[in-house]
A and B are shown apart, each in its own frame.
Chain A
């Protein structure tokens, strides 16, 4: 599984989720985590159709994808990981 996080330096929701991601990255070492910056990685994120709300979290496994928009709790992210793993 791959988790793509699209953040921005000015984004308070991205800041609020930092602690949660630290914990999740520790708990799921098998997942590949990629972080893109909304302003600096414009080219890399253009195909993700990022809307107006940040952060955007995209969970990908095989051909399946789950997209989480905005600030999410640890519980919501783990649920998404488990749904994709199921």
Chain B
């Protein structure tokens, strides 16, 4: 099997699974006062410390969630507490549906949303600066777009937004964590999910700086924080800490490796007349988005699947055949309706790339040239 869909999800690593199994033997509820509870609580505290050290935040700033979608919902809907300060939110056209979903909902409840223009896929920071009004309370910009891999300068944006103490800066860092180094110094809230860095599906977190207050989505007793009730998932938390540590310990070497594989893919794919590379110089090497004019993305996807090769068409959470992200980037409907995403990781081998290129060439000749 040649798996090139790491941005959709990653296979859980054996070491992470091992941690999950071992941590599951701690049967106590971390909120119980007896020693079984204390053991579980201590394990959560150690895991939280590890995650917070890697991300450069405080342990109490981590709110565990079921994943990034819940974290995004909590960050956005949770700011309702600040509605007395204003109702204006700014975002981009390169966000995940779990950003647009809550924002669409919130516009039905008195909020107003504007989109900051992009320049070659990057947020136009001057325009962003101009768009902030005395009603603006939130700016939500993802660190890396899942379809094109474009990386936004969130450090720079966060720094600029510090001039506006009333504005909270949220970033969906799901496609960045474990892949690239992320500096959260000037980010007020950040969402991510473990299954994007070889962790288990069903666990993620919202980083929320301690000066921010949020209305919980799930009310109830105090869990690991007051912002998300429910029995703390000890084993999932421990497994996420392990996954993050493993991803982080050789992150720079992994980036170099992935970059080389990406370069090879790009160099080969550029040779095809009907192929356009949509990812640009701002994209992380883990994601390569291309358009193949004249072929429906799903036709190419299934053709590659016949050779046991797995890629994506567009973000797994949208519908229809047009990629909004590619459209926002290229302003070309043909390219937006014929794009595929190849997403790789440090676990991708040279052989995987060769397999893909061989199958791609065969299917290109069949679907494009001889059509």
The chain A residues found within 8 Å of chain B, CB to CB, are 7-16, 18-19, 38-39, 51-54
Q: A15-B100, A18-B107 are in contact. List 17 more A-B contacts (CB 8 A).
A: A7-B104, A9-B100, A9-B104, A10-B101, A10-B104, A10-B319, A11-B100, A12-B100, A15-B103, A19-B112, A19-B113, A38-B319, A51-B320, A52-B321, A52-B337, A53-B320, A54-B320
The chain B residues found within 8 Å of chain A, CB to CB, are 93, 95, 97, 100-101, 103-105, 107, 112-115, 317-322, 324, 337
A9:B320 contact, CB within 8 angstroms: no
* CB neighbours of B103 from chain A (8 A): 15
B320:A16 contact, CB within 8 angstroms: no
Please report the C-alpha to C-alpha distance between residue A81 and residue B100 in the assembled complex, in whole angstroms.
Answer: 28
Please report the C-alpha to C-alpha distance between residue A9 and residue B108 in the assembled complex, in whole angstroms.
Answer: 11
Please report the C-alpha to C-alpha distance between residue A19 and residue B103 in the assembled complex, in whole angstroms.
Answer: 13
B324:A13 contact, CB within 8 angstroms: yes
A12:B95 contact, CB within 8 angstroms: yes
Please report the C-alpha to C-alpha distance between residue A38 and residue B100 in the assembled complex, in whole angstroms.
Answer: 15
A15:B113 contact, CB within 8 angstroms: yes
Please report the C-alpha to C-alpha distance between residue A13 and residue B95 in the assembled complex, in whole angstroms.
Answer: 12
* CB neighbours of B321 from chain A (8 A): 52
Question: What is the minimal beta-carbon distance from A64 to any residue of chain B, in angstroms?
Answer: 26
A15:B104 contact, CB within 8 angstroms: yes
A9:B101 contact, CB within 8 angstroms: yes
Please pick, from A7, A16, A18, A52, the residue contacting B322 in the complex, using a CB distance under 8 A.
Answer: A52
Given contacts A15-B113, A19-B112, contact A10 B322 (CB under 8 A): no
Please pick, from B104, B112, B114, B318, the residue contacting A14 in the complex, using a CB distance under 8 A.
Answer: B104
Query: Nearest residue in B to A7 (C-beta to C-beta)?
Result: B104
Question: What is the minimal beta-carbon distance from A9 to any residue of chain B, in angstroms?
Answer: 5
